């Protein structure tokens, strides 16, 4: 049998190539290829090892006829089209912890550089100016650090800031009170954080919810003279608004490692006296690069040579024997987790995963992992089956797996219940035939639906004429309805409607649906 062939297409520590060779793979190292060059050669490779520079687009994947795995030596996978990779049957793996300490240290370094204007003082001193009277810094001791995102990197930043005798206020919808106490931080909503913080650091992925989380409007809510650090993802801050806030003095200084467009060749921030930046160097230390290179090569080689799956973002980790039986249950479990995550958005404190009938005979851990991965993917793009249970535990989420020996109305059933500030919310699903996942109950209402693609969830008063009104609204906006599912507690009470549609529903249509007579809740969903 020929050896698997791997391409390393970004600058990576040489340990990666060494491990690939030792584990029985042929490896080519070609950093800096253009997309066209990559497209021309990708068909030859079984594995592609990348950092953030290579963009693994749908176009590249279409040409990747032999590709089995993409390995990201780092955390963020926003440069990989994961749905396109999944459709092509390509596993996408990352190394979720290898560069976290290094990136947290970069954020702290940026905070100090801002507090004491080190880059500008250095430049002018080396130019022979000796500008001793032009710089007056601020101490960080006793100041408040506002942490937006309290995951792996955010919690390391918090621990370092506490060591510097700062107070830490954190905003993260997934942070529980218990975890906040354990971390020694004050849990706050975003507006409170903005009003209190002397320094703000960002540590979230870039999602629809976090894009421009520091918008012009939110920058205006900050304490005057705040200093801001972003070592997470470009796009979390509105760069033009930040430039204006620096000009007006609302923001006293800003330090960015990441930009909306990278490489950043131009920016409204460049040249501002109180602005400093680095070219996406957050993960660039010898230690972190050795960690991620070794880990990505080990994981990819294990998959290519032995079929072992670790830290995959689009595939459950399963042994060869269990896989065929568990696969449809994993899909059902992940969909149910994603559904409750999207619907019960907010502070989740507990989750229970119940298995009944045939589902109770199967191993609970992979099903639990799939529910948690579906749930937590609403909050972080780095969650996978492997790290979801760990992350849930670390964040203080109380996870219970319950096995019911007796069959209920269905011969196999998975029920997921989450505890939210509004009370418990429960959804349940079964398999039709051997392998077709179906939702069968939602918040106590019987409703039968396949969870896939773009969907719309509506709660309305059960009264004549509503279905016509929503159908007309979607039709007038060119939105085609694929499937239509209805459920209700009792005639004339509250009715639940789940529609599958052929394209994402624009926010203005959601708004118009909310305004329809009898409507109580409208929420777009995506699976």
Ligand X SMILES: O=C(O)[C@H](O)COP(=O)(O)O
Ligand Y SMILES: NC(=O)c1ccc[n+]([C@@H]2O[C@H](COP(=O)([O-])OP(=O)(O)OC[C@H]3O[C@@H](n4cnc5c(N)ncnc54)[C@H](O)[C@@H]3O)[C@@H](O)[C@H]2O)c1
| Site residues, ligand X (CB under 6 A) | 51-52, 74-76, 99, 280, 282-284
Residue 284 Cβ vs ligand Y, minimum distance, rounded to whole Å: 7
- Select from ligand Y, ligand X, none the partner in contact with residue 331, using the beta carbon and a kind-dependent cut-off of 5 to 8 Å: none
- Select from ligand X, ligand Y, none the partner in contact with residue 100, using the beta carbon and a kind-dependent cut-off of 5 to 8 Å: ligand Y
Catalytically annotated residue among 178, 244, 262, 494: 262
Residue 13 or 450 having the CB closest to ligand X: 13
Q: How far apart are CA 29 and CA 409, in angstroms?
A: 57
Q: How far apart are CA 206 and CA 223, in angstroms?
A: 24
The verdict on whether 280 is a catalytic residue reads: yes
Q: Residue 59: enclosing H or E segment and its boundaries?
A: helix 58-62
Q: How far apart are CA 500 and CA 50, in angstroms?
A: 35
Residue 73 or 496 having the CB closest to ligand X: 73
Q: Is 54 exposed, middle or buried (0-12, 13-18, 19+ CB in 10 A)?
A: buried
- Select from ligand Y, ligand X, none the partner in contact with residue 150, using the beta carbon and a kind-dependent cut-off of 5 to 8 Å: ligand Y
Which residue's structure tokens are 């969830």? 457
Tokens representing 288 are: 């972190």
Which residue's beta carbon is nearest to the bound ligand X? Answer: 74
Residue 329 or 379 having the CB closest to ligand X: 379
The verdict on whether 404 is a catalytic residue reads: no
Residue 107 Cβ vs ligand Y, minimum distance, rounded to whole Å: 8
User: Where does 127-215 have alpha helices with state H?
Assistant: 152-163, 177-183, 190-196
- Residues of the shown chain interacting with ligand Y in the complex, contacts defined by CB under 6 A: 75-76, 99-100, 103, 148-154, 171-174, 203-205, 207, 209-210, 231-233, 257-258, 280, 282-283, 379-380, 382
Residue 387 Cβ vs ligand X, minimum distance, rounded to whole Å: 14
- Exposed e or buried b per residue across 146-166, where buried means at least 16 C-beta atoms within 10 angstroms of its C-beta: bbbbbbbbbbbbbebbeeeeb
Catalytically annotated residue among 233, 355, 395, 438: 233
Q: Within a 10 A sphere around the Cβ of 453, how many other Cβ atoms? A: 15
Q: How far apart are CA 397 and CA 178, in angstroms?
A: 9
**480 torsion bin: left (phi>0), alpha (psi -120 to 50), beta (else):** beta
Residue 211 or 485 having the CB closest to ligand Y: 211
Residue 207 or 401 having the CB closest to ligand Y: 207
Residue 313 Cβ vs ligand Y, minimum distance, rounded to whole Å: 12
Which residue's beta carbon is nearest to the bound ligand Y? Answer: 151
Residue 364 Cβ vs ligand Y, minimum distance, rounded to whole Å: 24
Residue 56 Cβ vs ligand X, minimum distance, rounded to whole Å: 13
Which residue's structure tokens are 């939702």? 439
Q: How far apart are CA 426 and CA 202, in angstroms?
A: 33
- Select from ligand X, ligand Y, none the partner in contact with residue 301, using the beta carbon and a kind-dependent cut-off of 5 to 8 Å: none
Residue 61 or 75 having the CB closest to ligand X: 75
Catalytically annotated residue among 160, 179, 227, 280: 280
Q: Does residue 462 contact residue 451 with C-beta atoms inside 8 Å?
A: no
The verdict on whether 233 is a catalytic residue reads: yes
Residue 389 or 437 having the CB closest to ligand Y: 389
User: Where does 249-343 have alpha helices with state H?
Assistant: 286-306, 323-343
Q: How far apart are CA 8 and CA 368, in angstroms?
A: 34
- Select from ligand Y, ligand X, none the partner in contact with residue 51, using the beta carbon and a kind-dependent cut-off of 5 to 8 Å: ligand X
Give Rg (Cα) of the chain: 25
Q: How far is CA 316 from CA 322, 374, 431, in A?
A: 11, 11, 18
- Select from ligand Y, ligand X, none the partner in contact with residue 153, using the beta carbon and a kind-dependent cut-off of 5 to 8 Å: ligand Y
- Select from ligand Y, ligand X, none the partner in contact with residue 509, using the beta carbon and a kind-dependent cut-off of 5 to 8 Å: none
Q: Residue 110: enclosing H or E segment and its boundaries?
A: helix 100-116
Q: How far apart are CA 52 and CA 72, in angstroms?
A: 8
Residue 289 Cβ vs ligand X, minimum distance, rounded to whole Å: 8
Active site (catalytic) residues: 233, 262, 280
């Amino acid at each position: 049998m020929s050896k698997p062939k791997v391409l390393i297409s970004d600058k990576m520590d040489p340990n990666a190539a060494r491990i690939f060779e030792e584990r029985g793979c042929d490896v080519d190292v070609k950093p800096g290829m253009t997309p066209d060059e990559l497209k021309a050669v990708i068909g030859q490779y079984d594995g592609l090892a990348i950092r953030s520079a290579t963009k693994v687009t749908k176009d590249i994947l279409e040409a990747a006829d032999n590709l089995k795995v993409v390995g990201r030596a780092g955390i963020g996978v926003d440069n990989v089209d994961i749905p396109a990779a999944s459709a092509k049957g390509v596993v996408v793996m990352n190394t979720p912890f290898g560069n976290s300490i290094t990136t947290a240290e970069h954020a702290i370094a940026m905070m100090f550089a801002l507090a004491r204007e080190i880059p500008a003082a250095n430049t002018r001193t080396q130019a022979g100016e000796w500008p001793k009277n032009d710089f007056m810094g601020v101490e960080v001791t006793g100041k408040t650090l506002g942490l937006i995102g309290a995951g792996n990197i955010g919690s390391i930043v918090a621990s370092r800031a506490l060591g510097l005798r700062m107070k830490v206020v954190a905003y993260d919808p997934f942070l529980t009170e218990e975890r906040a106490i354990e971390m020694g931080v004050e849990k706050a909503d975003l507006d409170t954080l903005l009003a209190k913080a002397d320094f703000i650091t960002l540590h979230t992925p870039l999602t629809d919810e976090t894009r421009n989380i520091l918008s012009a409007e939110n920058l205006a809510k900050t304490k005057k003279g705040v200093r801001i650090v972003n070592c997470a993802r470009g796009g979390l801050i509105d760069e033009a608004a930040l430039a204006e806030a620096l000009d007006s003095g609302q923001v006293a200084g800003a330090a960015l490692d990441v930009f909306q467009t990278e490489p950043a060749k131009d920016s409204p921030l460049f040249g501002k006296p109180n602005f400093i930046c680095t070219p996406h160097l957050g993960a660039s230390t010898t230690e972190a690069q050795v960690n991620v290179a070794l880990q990505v090569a080990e994981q990819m080689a294990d998959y290519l040579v032995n079929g072992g799956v670790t830290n995959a973002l689009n595939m459950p980790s399963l042994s060869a024997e269990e896989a065929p039986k568990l696969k449809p249950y994993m899909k059902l479990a992940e969909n149910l987790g994603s559904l409750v995550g999207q619907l019960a958005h907010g502070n989740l404190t507990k989750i229970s995963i119940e298995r009944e009938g045939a589902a109770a005979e199967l191993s609970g851990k992979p099903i639990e992992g799939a529910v948690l991965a579906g749930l937590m993917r609403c909050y972080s793009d780095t969650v996978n089956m492997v790290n979801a249970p760990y992350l849930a535990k670390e964040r203080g989420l109380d996870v219970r797996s319950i096995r019911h020996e007796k069959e209920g109305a269905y011969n196999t059933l998975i029920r997921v219940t989450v505890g939210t500030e509004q009370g418990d919310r429960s959804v349940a699903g079964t398999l039709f035939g051997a392998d077709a996942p179906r939702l069968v109950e939602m918040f106590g209402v019987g409703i039968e639906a396949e969870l896939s693609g773009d969907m719309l969830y509506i709660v309305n008063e059960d009264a004549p004429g509503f279905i016509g009104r929503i159908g007309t609204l979607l039709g007038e906006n060119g939105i085609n309805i694929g499937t239509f599912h209805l459920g209700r507690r009792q005639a004339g009470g509250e009715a639940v409607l789940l529609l599958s549609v052929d394209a994402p529903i624009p926010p203005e249509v959601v708004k118009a649906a909310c305004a329809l007579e009898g409507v109580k809740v409208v929420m777009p969903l995506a699976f």
